[in-house]
Amino acid sequence: MSSFASNRLIRLSTLDLPIYLITAGLILALAIATLARDPKPHGQVVAITVHSAALENNRVKDSPDRAVSIYLPPDYDSGSRRYPVLYLLHGYTGDERGWMNPSYVGLPEIMDRLLQQHAIQPMIVVMPNSFNRFGGSFYANSSLSGGWEDFIVRDLISYIDAHYRTQPQAGSRGIAGHSMGGYGALRIGMDHPEVFSAAYGMSPCCSYWDEQQDRPGVVKAQRAKTLNEIFQAGMGPQVDLALAAAFSPDLANPPFGVDWPFDAKGQPVPAVVVRWKSNLLDEITAHYAAGQPRLHALGFDVGRFDENSDIVTGARKLDHEMTRLGIPHTYSEYNGTHNDHIGERMERVVLPFMSTALSWQSSSSAAKEADR
């Protein structure tokens, strides 16, 4: 190549380029400049640890210092506004980090997207870790595993209200969850309408008593002598031990410190069955129907192809019972299994449900409440 040709290539200018390339370059430069000036707002997720007095001295030596993830809306750091709060409870064997997984929910991205679309109001989302030695607490107070309901209702809420700009009254608090967390949300919401104004359960478990469902796992669990043997026996015995730890603890009954609702031959133990039934959603619903105050909004749903048939049956029974008792609620079924479509349901149903339910509380009234 001649030196003239080499110099010609080096000295290429925009005049030598096709006009469409020049135009494309200008458009790209303008887009980059626009993004630099006006980026899409993103919320932030902060990870903290909350000490729970209710979990101190539990008999299974789980830490009372609980990991908590918190989503703060994009404008949180730029003003003095106070926000409603949604408490989000995870399922059995899960933890607070699962909500961030895009293949499951991807909560930060969903919140950002809905806020950018003005589809929901800004809110704080609090996601506590309630995993314990048994794989899950079922959000119940237990003399064996600790006060998990009190952890949520008393310790966690007190900490969040003290350290973040919340609207610190029941009308601005909601609670929701999936599976074990769906059960926990409905249980705690109906038990504490003085603390929360809205509750939503996604595929909630533990809605009604079913001897056939629990008997095999309980009988199998009683053959084990150690926790490791329980885990090796499969999910059924493991879940039933977690339920027994939550619903029928008995520190004087080795090796696990629980009473079982069936004996080793599979026969019901009536006194223990009564204790289990009192923790199931149908009986909690009956107590809720007889009392005051009521939640401002109550809802739940289920995938009609859930692998756990008792969850589908339980949701339908619960809907029927709430209707019979005259309890206002929303209920829906969708084409899904236990774990699919959860992110979609969160985006399309749960978060808009909470945004509407909590929006009737004004920021000015919240500020007055906080100043008292």
SS (H, E, C) 247-309: HCECCCCCCCCECCCECCCCCECHHHHHHHHCCCHHHHHHHHHHCCCCCCEEEEEEECCCCCH
**Surface-to-core class of residue 368, CB atoms within 10 Å of its CB (0-12 exposed, 13-18 middle, 19+ buried):** exposed
pLDDT at 370: 47
Residue 287 lies in a domain: no
Residue 126 lies in a domain: yes
pLDDT at 256: 98
Domains of the chain: total: 3
CA 269 centroid distance within chain:
33
Amino acid identity of residue 256, one-letter, is F
Residues 78 and 224 in one domain: no
pLDDT at 257: 98
Residue 280 lies in a domain: no
Residues 349 and 234 in one domain: no
Residues 90 and 8 in one domain: no
Residues 226 and 352 in one domain: no
pLDDT at 292: 83
Q: Which domain holds residue 100?
A: 44-208+295-371
Q: Tokens representing 141?
A: 């107070």
Residue 226 lies in a domain: yes
Q: Does residue 228 contact residue 328 with C-beta atoms inside 8 Å?
A: no
Residue 281 lies in a domain: no
Residues 65 and 187 in one domain: yes
Residue 288 lies in a domain: no
Residue 147 lies in a domain: yes
Residues 316 and 245 in one domain: no
Residues 266 and 135 in one domain: no
Residues 97 and 201 in one domain: yes
Residues 251 and 346 in one domain: no
H helix or E strand, kind and range, residue 65: strand 65-72
Strands 198-202 and 141-142: unpaired
Q: Does residue 182 contact residue 205 with C-beta atoms inside 8 Å?
A: yes
Report CA Rg, the chain. 26
Tens digit of pLDDT at every position of the chain (372 positions)? 444 334 433 333 333 445 544 454 555 555 454 444 546 789 999 999 999 999 999 999 999 999 999 999 999 999 899 999 999 999 999 999 999 999 999 999 999 999 999 999 999 999 999 999 999 999 999 999 999 999 999 999 999 999 999 999 999 999 999 999 999 999 999 999 999 999 999 999 999 999 888 999 999 999 999 999 999 999 999 999 999 999 999 999 999 999 999 999 999 999 999 999 999 999 999 999 999 899 999 999 999 999 999 999 999 999 999 999 999 999 999 999 999 999 999 999 999 999 999 965 454 454 454 444
pLDDT at 4: 35
Strands 297-303 and 173-178: unpaired
Residues 129 and 269 in one domain: no
Residues 82 and 195 in one domain: yes
Residue 24 lies in a domain: yes
Q: Does residue 296 contact residue 198 with C-beta atoms inside 8 Å?
A: yes
Residues 14 and 153 in one domain: no
